[in-house]
Amino acid sequence: MLVLKDPSLLKQQAYLAGRWVDADNGATLSVDNPADGQIIAKVPRMGADETRRAIEQAEAALPEWRDRTAKDRASLLRRWFELIMANQEDLALLMTTEQGKPLSEAKGEIAYAASFIEWFAEEAKRVYGETIPSPLPDRRLLVLKQPVGVCAAITPWNFPAAMITRKVGPALAAGCTVIVKPASQTPLTALALAELAARAGLPDGVLSVLTGAAREIGGELAANPSVRKLSFTGSTEVGRELMAACAPTIKKLSLELGGNAPFIVFDDADLDAAVEGAIASKYRNAGQTCVCANRLFAQAGIHDAFVEKLAQAVAKLKVGTGNTPGVQIGPLIDQAAIAKVEAHIADATQRGARLISGGKRHELGGNFFTPTVLSGVDMTMQIAYEETFGPVAPVFCFQSEAEVVKMSNSTVFGLASYFYSRDIGRIWRVAEALEFGMVGINTGLISNEVAPFGGVKQSGLGREGSRHGLDEYLELKYLCLAGL
Ligand code: ADP
């Protein structure tokens, strides 16, 4: 049973322009607990009509919101941040129940999610323009930054809170209004965040959260000319579709898509630190993050020792339901996720990889899978070029720096990458040569609100977090003042 300190945070209606509403036709979709398959709640299954209304309301709310002072918007965001932190435990429990991750990780995600609201509340006050020395004596040239307008955010289930706040935070700070479509697996965290935004005093229409049919809601958000920007986090396939759907109206786009992160351990690395980093990067959220290490490359000199230490550490990971104390690995999101993990392991072992530990469904059954380590993996195996999104660490052996850089870069993705080395020359060379948007050096955890998160190649467009994250929601306007 889901028992919240504040039961009014469990919402079973969508938040459309300041009102809690059902779908026009009364349709619902069930939200279940991936740990036991129990239905937790039902939320409206909305479609294109409700989306159109939310867009109209967002457009109507825009002028007043845009014209407020940045300080005013900032203090409202600050209040929202404080309410999120004050309700951290309830929000974490909601998240664990609908998503499965351990409660400690869920609490961490709520704090991480809130940090984006705090950060962008502060940054709202620093949207500076420019003056440019004029090439002509009678002119003054200026650049203003103005909000893009009505924005849409489509978000995934693996980070039910943070993927929303790192889009909505900068959008609201900039003076945009936003419509959010959370993942159908995890709408409850999103709706609770909307309730707290309302309590913070966000004006009606500035934020809507619509639950329901992805294609219908997403289709309307992408096609409607009043939406000026779409920000999406999810799979590369859906990102590609949305990019095409946004083409007719030339929308601004931010895309945070799949990754295939290399995690490289050189001979000169601190091996214990590398194992610790690999565990943090690979098994967080049961391997279901787009920045999880997907391919572990160990240099020949330390390969065997690394595999042995990694297997020892993996054997200690505690699997269970997210709200059991001490659990580090919860269930995967659904059976399709389990099937993908099994397929990757089967393909790798058939092609000659060695199963060091795990490799099978967990005795708890359902969506639980045993943390797995494979060695002897090579570039022909599916696991080398597809994102696994599960608790499987495939270890490759390599000889030289040049070889591992080439292997790391031989993917269409370019989100996160990691390597361990103590050699300062190598650190610079490899960091510069990796074709990824982010490089963790001697660490497996790199995300925070002050740094730019995002990918190159088919991992996406744009950056989230940091001061650059705000620019994604701002347009430059050039003023040429003549005849002085
Ligand atoms: P994941 O693999 O994380 O489930 P998806 O890309 O399938 O990634 O989903 C991410 C988000 O995109 C979710 O909110 C989902 O409902 C939404 N989505 C899925 N398919 C579409 C689509 N065709 N159009 C718009 N949104 C979609």
What is the distance, to the nearest Å, from the Cα of residue 473 to the centroid of all Cα atoms in its chain?
17
Residue keyed to tokens 């690979």: 282
- The distance in angstroms from the start CA to the end CA of the chain is 71
Q: Does the C-beta of 332 come closer than 6 Å to ligand 1? A: no
Is 256 an annotated catalytic residue? yes
Q: Evaluate if residue 1 carries a pLDDT over 80.
A: no
Q: Does the C-beta of 212 come closer than 6 Å to ligand 1? A: no
Question: For ligand 1, what atom is nearest to the CA of residue 184?
Answer: 16
pLDDT of residue 319: 98
Please, which pLDDT band fits residue 201 given cuts at 50, 70 and 90?
very high
Ligand 1, atom 2, residue with closest C-alpha: 235
Q: Evaluate if residue 189 carries a pLDDT over 90.
A: yes
pLDDT of residue 25: 98
pLDDT of residue 438: 98
Reported as a single tens digit per residue, the pLDDT across 61-85 is: 999 999 999 999 999 999 999 999 9
Residue 52: partners with Cβ closer than 8 Å, 6 or more residues away = 220, 224
Ligand 1, atom 13, residue with closest C-alpha: 183
Type of residue at 12: Q
Residue 240: partners with Cβ closer than 8 Å, 6 or more residues away = none
Cα 156 to middle of ligand 1, angstroms: 7
CA 333 to each of CA 32, 38, 329: distance values in angstroms, whole numbers, following the listed order:
10, 13, 12
Q: Which of 50, 256, 401, 464 is catalytic?
A: 256
Concatenate the DSSP letters of all residues of 52-84 into one string: HHHHHHHHHHHHHHHHS-HHHHHHHHHHHHHHH
Task: Kindly state the average pLDDT of the residues 476-480.
Answer: 98
Question: For ligand 1, what atom is nearest to the CA of residue 239?
Answer: 6
Q: Does the C-beta of 249 come closer than 6 Å to ligand 1? A: no
Cα 154 to middle of ligand 1, angstroms: 7
Please, which pLDDT band fits residue 402 given cuts at 50, 70 and 90?
very high
pLDDT of residue 255: 98
Per the prediction, the chain carries an average pLDDT of: 98
Q: Does the C-beta of 218 come closer than 6 Å to ligand 1? A: yes
* SS3 state of residue 35: coil
- Mutate which of 45, 51, 98, 154 for ligand 1? The one with the most ligand atoms within 8 Å of its CB, which is 154
- Mutate which of 186, 211, 238, 289 for ligand 1? The one with the most ligand atoms within 8 Å of its CB, which is 238
Reported as a single tens digit per residue, the pLDDT across 134-169 is: 999 999 999 999 999 999 999 999 999 999 999 999
pTM for the model stands at 0.97
Cα 238 to middle of ligand 1, angstroms: 6
Task: Kindly state the average pLDDT of the residues 430-456.
Answer: 98
Question: For ligand 1, what atom is nearest to the CA of residue 233?
Answer: 10
pLDDT of residue 197: 98
Residue 143: partners with Cβ closer than 8 Å, 6 or more residues away = 129, 130, 131, 132, 476, 477, 478, 479
pLDDT of residue 182: 98
pLDDT of residue 441: 98
Cα 225 to middle of ligand 1, angstroms: 21
Type of residue at 84: I
Please, which pLDDT band fits residue 301 given cuts at 50, 70 and 90?
very high
Q: Does the C-beta of 356 come closer than 6 Å to ligand 1? A: no
Type of residue at 376: G
Q: Does the C-beta of 234 come closer than 6 Å to ligand 1? A: yes
pLDDT of residue 153: 98
Q: Does the C-beta of 243 come closer than 6 Å to ligand 1? A: no
Q: Evaluate if residue 231 carries a pLDDT over 90.
A: yes
- Alpha helix segments (H runs only) across 21-139: 48-67, 70-86, 88-99, 103-123
Q: Does the C-beta of 235 come closer than 6 Å to ligand 1? A: yes
Helix (H) or strand (E) holding 16: strand 14-16
Print burial letters for 97-121: b (CB count within 10 Å at least 16), e (below 16).
Answer: bbbbbbbebbbbbbbbbbbbbbbbb
Reported as a single tens digit per residue, the pLDDT across 85-110 is: 999 999 999 999 999 999 999 999 99
pLDDT of residue 332: 98
Question: For ligand 1, what atom is nearest to the CA of residue 158?
Answer: 3
Task: Kindly state the average pLDDT of the residues 232-242.
Answer: 97
Question: For ligand 1, what atom is nearest to the CA of residue 237?
Answer: 6
Please, which pLDDT band fits residue 44 given cuts at 50, 70 and 90?
very high
Q: Does the C-beta of 238 come closer than 6 Å to ligand 1? A: yes
Helix (H) or strand (E) holding 424: helix 424-433
Reported as a single tens digit per residue, the pLDDT across 314-352 is: 999 999 999 999 999 999 999 999 999 999 999 999 999
Q: Does the C-beta of 154 come closer than 6 Å to ligand 1? A: yes
Question: For ligand 1, what atom is nearest to the CA of residue 221?
Answer: 25
Q: Does the C-beta of 334 come closer than 6 Å to ligand 1? A: no
Ligand 1, atom 22, residue with closest C-alpha: 215
pLDDT of residue 93: 98
Type of residue at 227: V
